Chain A
Amino acid sequence: MSDRRDADGRYPFKTVIGLEVHAQLRTASKLFCRCSTQFGSAPNTQVCPVCLGLPGALPVMNEHAIELAITTGLALNCDIPSVTKWDRKQYFYPDLPKGYQISQFDMPICAEGYLDIPDPADEGETRRIGLFRAHLEEDAGKSMHDEAAGRDHSRIDLNRCGTPLLEIVSKPEMFSAAEARSYLTELKLLLTHLGVSDCEMQEGSLRVDANVNLHIEKDGKRIATPIVEVKNMNSFRAVERAIQYEAERQYQEWEDTGNTIETVSKRTFGWNDATEETFVQREKEESADYRYFPDPDLVPVHLPKERIEAAREAMGELPAATRERFQTQYELKAYDADVIVNQGPAMVTYFETAATASKDPKRTSSWIQQDVMRTLKERQEEIGAFPVSAETLGQLLGEVRAGRLDNNRARDVFQHLLTHGGSVEQATAALGIEAVDDSELDALCDELLAENPQVVQHVQGGKPQAVGALIGKAKQKNPNINPGQLRETLLAKIAAM
């Protein structure tokens, strides 16, 4: 990289991004008690002595959370240690009733790993993003500022308190906002595919903190700007925008102040979605001393090899492998495989079922990307509740492949199936679509040629496309006619004249 100023008079710089993702695990009950993890219940209705931190209450670990963490760790290519343990992270806050959070300090359940993400700058290629670790911890409650109660009052909802989280910490190995987004998209796909998390940012089941700074090349030296941790982003788009904003802001700050990583310690910024700006939350990261120590109420967790291997077996095919397979098995293009796989496991199954039934994977892929996905988007529905089943779509496309239906008629059938349901046969019957037999076709062609001698002349004059004019007329006479067959028969008849 050259360290010369560019046309705007700026030195070249690279944005360096590390992401900390908190994913809420899809367990029925909390991490250390049996309270429900259901989202959206009335405040403080899903609590018990344990998650309220009442005197004398003790935690009991939820094995399912361990299961989910192992599976995620394996999918993220992490080393799963044979022993992991629980530690207390201590700080005072009203949404933390015990005065400490049960977390994992020096022996996380998932050690170093990586995630391969689609490279946003190079279609079909991947980038490998390193992970420091992933560890389990309990969530805190929610503090809500309550206008009605007065300026100094807050209300606390402890329903979320004790919900299991997996904190996945990447290395600072993403170098653009687009890469950060690609990482999050891929991670979400993986977590939803594995069924370990719902990953709903709006509901807080996926939370992202971004650590951002710049590496500026100046006079042959690399200058690092102070690290900023950006919080409160509520969508992937917001993460992308916040990183872009931070990159600009940090460059400007460096130009204005000369601040570097050596002179200014890490700061915490928030993200304002309305103004699309970051803002200072904590000017100087107080070097908080959490006084971590092993939780004496919990015993270390032993993870025998057999358990890890069993989880690996049960994991099945991961999205990256599915993409590869779609390209070889179904001969889809990388882009098409990506689009389908990125819709999640339900769409993968839908595609495979439909492609098998239609025996035409490419047509199935294009129909899914156009007709199915567009309809889902319009109706704001999930593929699981889609009224046209994969078998039905496959059958319909099989008809197209066999030449019994053209694309337009097939779309009519599809629309009919969307609104009325039922089978392909029922839909075609309802629409009055019938197969046209050869003698009918023959007769129709003779009729058309007799009525349109000028078309015959044009074709004989070397313009075979002129038969196109007859297709519309044919449709008026018999809507069930197949345009392809019609064209072939017409051209054959003219050639034989």
Chain B
Amino acid sequence: MTIPLDSAVTLQSLLASGELSAVDVARSVLERAAATESTVAAFTYRPDERLLEQAEAIDRRRREGQPLGPLAGIPVAVKDVLCTTDMPTTCSSRMLENFRSPYDATVVAQLRAADALLVGKTNMDEFAMGASTENSAFGLTRNPWASTCTPGGSSGGAAAAVAASVVPLSVGSDTGGSIRQPAAFCGVTGLKPTYGRVSRYGLVAFASSLDQVGPLAWDVADNALLLSHLAGFDPRDSTSLDAPVEDYLAAVSPAATADLKGLRIGLIREHVDHQRLAAPARQAVLDAVGVLTAAGAEVVDVHFDQTKYWVPTYYIIAPCEASSNLSRYDGAHYGFRAQPAAEAAQQHGPLTATYCQSRDQGFGAEVKRRIMLGTYSLSEGYADRYYAKALQVRRLIRDDYDAAFGKVDLLLGPVTPGPAFPLGEKVDDPLEMYLCDQFTVGANLAGIPAISLPAGHDENNLPLGVQLQAPPLGEAALLRAGTVFQNATDHHRRRPQL
């Protein structure tokens, strides 16, 4: 039988009924990876024989009648920004090329506790900084729908691994759109939870006040399944929310998803009318309005005053925090250490020379650019003008959301300005690359949850997405509306020819 590596929910029932063994699934993952990795290259650490060992252990425990976790035998790929003890944790950076964490990220520990098969580590933009995965120190990932195009970023490998049907579930992270944008580019579903809903312990920090771990999968149901094993309070993360986790599986159940009667959805006018929004992407949003309206939702226009400040605000706050978070990579304690040139050592002393050259050689161009942006924005005399001001604008952006959610239950809009762009197109134009995030960074600045849903394909068969956003802790509402949307559409059922 063909093993449905594109649906965790299906695998779950086949494994439970005994029609499939975990080893069957693991073998299939290895075969699929062998077939697709040469073109897609979704992984920094590829699935290997260790996967079979994990699967054999699951099957043995099932035979012996031992209790198994809900994700027993389900393959899950982990973005290479999450710490794992049994695989390297590189953040796609030369700086951490040989780094192995002595501890598991909380979400990784939770996946292990649920008996998921941890398949490998997925490629990403270095330290999650980028929108195309081209900033990886370990090579490109290609979009499974078009090998000349980017899968998006920074969770490009995570989205591509799902789109290539190597794994049904992928864990990504989203600081400014890093789950939602690659999900849209790869035609899969991805959710950025409320800030604090998922533990950041063991998530290598890019911008601490914006980073959030979340799921990617083909459909909403699989997102719900994975999210229910990621979410929860973690005493090791001071910014983690100590609030009960809603029943996400109930939110996507048939009983909850018959229709959307009574739901008010706000269409973000400034985004739909944005001059940079490509026509097919706009059409995908308008089509979604039709689908949601037909399901009983009321769609109304809403306005956001500060949308033009979203990207500038984000590109001050995120680099400021990044410049600080990445200070620890100095070549002194772990990771890459350069042997300073004699001349530099002479001039600056061996310590400073080691710092400078380790960071110069260990980090890629985009990471260094953001470290410099952040360092500048936090410098004496500039911090008030940039960092402090950005915090004030962030407050206003949150106010915009609060006002909107006073009127509507969810917000609808585009995820990206257009479909996946060709590899190499924006890599030398950072400002153009930064604008990839213009519709997504708001959710990070406001700390609210948002989901990217497959919503169509353009004339080149490249996927397009739409985004739904909800008030804090509104994950269940997003999953419910997303399920209703997917019940009425088949965009998420289309698969790339690979």
A residues near B (Cβ < 8 Å) are: 49, 52-61, 88, 90, 92, 94, 97-100, 152, 156, 289, 291, 293, 296-299
Contact B380 A289 (CB under 8 A): yes
Assess whether B333 is interfacial by the CB under 8 Å rule: yes
Which B337-384 residues have a C-beta within 8 angstroms of A? Answer: 350-351, 355, 375, 378-380, 383
A98 with B351, Cβ < 8 A, contacts A55-B99, A56-B105, A296-B208 known: no
> Are B333 and A52 interface neighbours, CB within 8 A?
yes
Of all chain A residues, which has the CB nearest B211?
A296
A32 to chain B, nearest CB (A): 9
Which residues of A lie under 8 Å from residue B103 when comparing CB positions? Answer: 49, 54, 57
For the complex formed, measure the closest distance between the CB of B87 and the CB atoms of chain A, giving whole angstroms: 14
CB of A88 within 8 A of CB of B105, answer no
CB distance from A53 to the nearest CB of B (A): 5
Question: How many angstroms between the C-alpha atoms of A57 and B237 in the bound complex?
Answer: 9
Of the candidates B89, B201, B209, the one whose C-beta lies within 8 Å of that of A296 is B209
Interface presence of B203 (CB below 8 A) = yes
Interface residues of B (CB under 8 A from A): 82-83, 89, 91, 96, 99, 101-103, 105, 200-205, 207-209, 235-239, 320-321, 323-324, 326-328, 330, 332-334, 350-351, 355, 375, 378-380, 383, 387
Given contacts A49-B103, A152-B350, contact A58 B83 (CB under 8 A): no
Whether A94 and B332, one on each chain, are in contact in the complex, defined by CB atoms closer than 8 angstroms, is yes
Contacts of A57 in B (CB 8 A): 103, 201-202
Q: In the complex, A289→B378 CA distance in Å?
A: 9
Are A293 and B89 in contact, with the CB atoms below 8 A?
A: no
- Within the assembled complex, what's the spacing in Å between the Cα atoms of A298 and B355? 27
- Shortest Cβ gap from B283 to chain A (Å): 38
User: In the docked arrangement, what's the CA distance between A55 and B202, Å?
Assistant: 7
Q: Which residues of A contact B375 (CB under 8 A)?
A: 291
Which among B91, B238, B383 is the interface contact of A297 at CB below 8 angstroms?
Answer: B238
A52-B328 Cα distance, complex, nearest whole Å: 10
Cross-chain contact B327 with A58 (CB below 8 angstroms): no
Pairs A–B under 8 Å by Cβ, sample size 11: A49-B102, A56-B82, A56-B83, A58-B238, A60-B235, A60-B237, A60-B238, A97-B328, A98-B328, A296-B209, A297-B208
B328 contacts A55, CB within 8 Å?
yes
Option from B89, B201, B209, B321 in Cβ contact (under 8 Å) with A58: B201
Q: How far is the CA of A470 from the CA of B158 in the complex (A)?
A: 105
Q: Provide the bound-state CA to CA distance between A55 and B105, in Å.
A: 10
Interfacial chain B residues near A293, Cβ < 8 Å: 320, 324, 378, 383, 387
> Is the CB–CB distance between B201 and A54 below 8 Å?
no
How many angstroms between the C-alpha atoms of A299 and B241 in the bound complex? 11
The complex places the Cα of A92 from the Cα of B326 at a distance, in Å, of 11
A55 touches B320 (CB 8 A): no
Q: Known: A88-B324, A296-B321. Contact between A55 and B89, CB under 8 A?
A: yes
A54: chain B residues at CB < 8 Å are 83, 101-103, 334
Least CB distance from A335 to B in Å reads 50
Which of chain B's residues have a CB closer than 8 A to the CB of A297? 205, 208, 238-239
* In the A-B complex, the 8 residue pairs with the closest CB atoms: A99-B327, A296-B208, A296-B209, A291-B378, A56-B202, A55-B204, A56-B83, A289-B380
User: Residues of B contacting A90 with CB < 8 Å?
Assistant: 324, 327, 378
Given the complex, which residues of B lie within 8 Å of A97, measured CB to CB?
Answer: 328, 332-333
CA distance A55 to B328 in the complex (A): 8
Beta-carbon contact of B327 and A98 below 8 Å:
yes
Nearest CB in chain A: distance from B17 CB, A = 38
Option from B239, B333, B383 in Cβ contact (under 8 Å) with A291: B383
CB distance from B371 to the nearest CB of A (A): 11
**Which secondary structure dominates chain B's binding surface?**
loop
Interface core residue of B209, B239, B328, B387 (most chain A CB under 10 Å): B328
CA distance A141 to B91 in the complex (A): 27
Q: Which residues of A contact B202 (CB under 8 A)?
A: 56-57
Mostly helix, strand, loop or mixed at chain A's interface? loop
Contact A58 B200 (CB under 8 A): yes
Which one of B200, B235, B321, B379 has the greatest number of beta carbons of chain A within 10 Å? B321
The answer on a CB contact under 8 Å between A59 and B238 is: yes
Q: Which residues of A contact B82 (CB under 8 A)?
A: 56
A103 CB, nearest partner CB in chain B, Å:
13
Q: List the A side residues contacting B380 at CB < 8 Å.
A: 289, 291
B327 x A92 contact (CB < 8 A): yes
CA distance A59 to B237 in the complex (A): 7
Inter-chain CA distance A57–B350, complex, in Å, is 28
Q: How far is the CA of A298 from the CA of B240 in the complex (A)?
A: 10
Task: Name the CB-closest residue of A to B208.
Answer: A296
Question: Do residues A100 and B235 form an inter-chain contact, with CB atoms below 8 A?
Answer: no
Instruction: Specify the chain A residue showing the minimal Cβ separation from B203.
Output: A56
Check if B101 sits within 8 Å of A55, measured CB to CB.
Answer: yes
- A57–B202 Cα distance when bound, in Å, is 6
Q: Verify A100–B327 contact, CB threshold 8 A.
A: yes
A100 cross-chain contacts in B, Cβ below 8 A: 324, 327
Q: In whole Å, how far is B197's beta carbon from the nearest beta carbon of chain A?
A: 15
Considering the complex, give the chain A residue whose CB is closest to the CB of B105. A56
Most buried by B among A55, A94, A289: A55
**A97→B332 CA distance, assembly (Å):** 8
Question: Hey, which chain A residues are within 8 Å of B235, CB to CB?
Answer: 60
A287 and chain B: residue at smallest CB distance: B380
CA A11 – CA B208 in complex, angstroms? Answer: 57
Please report the C-alpha to C-alpha distance between residue A59 and residue B325 in the assembled complex, in whole angstroms. Answer: 13
Contact status B205-A56, CB under 8 Å: yes
B104 CB to nearest chain A CB (Å): 10
Give min CB distance, A477 to chain B, whole Å: 79
Q: 9 additional contacts, CB 8 Å, given A56-B200, A60-B237, A156-B332?
A: A49-B101, A54-B83, A55-B99, A56-B203, A58-B201, A97-B332, A297-B208, A297-B238, A299-B238
Complexed CA–CA distance, A297 and B350 (Å): 32
Q: Give, as a whole number of angstroms, the nearest-CB distance from A433 to chain B.
A: 65
> How many Å from the CB of A11 to the closest CB on chain B?
37
Knowing A97-B333, A293-B387 touch, does A55 contact B327 (C-beta < 8 A)? no
**Which of B208, B321, B327, B351 is close to A94, meaning CB atoms less than 8 Å apart?**
B351
Cα distance A297–B238 when bound, in Å? 7
Q: Which single member of A49, A152, A291, A299 contacts B324 (CB below 8 Å)?
A: A291
Cα–Cα, bound, A57→B201 (Å): 6
Assess the B379–A289 pair: CB atoms within 8 A: yes
Query: Could you tell me if A61 and B101 are in contact, using CB atoms closer than 8 angstroms?
Result: no
The chain B residue with its CB closest to the CB of A299 is B238
Report the separation of the CA atoms of residues A61 and B235 in the bound assembly, to the nearest whole angstrom: 11
Q: From residue B427, how far is it (CB to closest CB) to chain A in Å?
A: 25
Q: How far does the alpha carbon of A37 sit from the alpha carbon of B243 in the complex, in Å?
A: 32
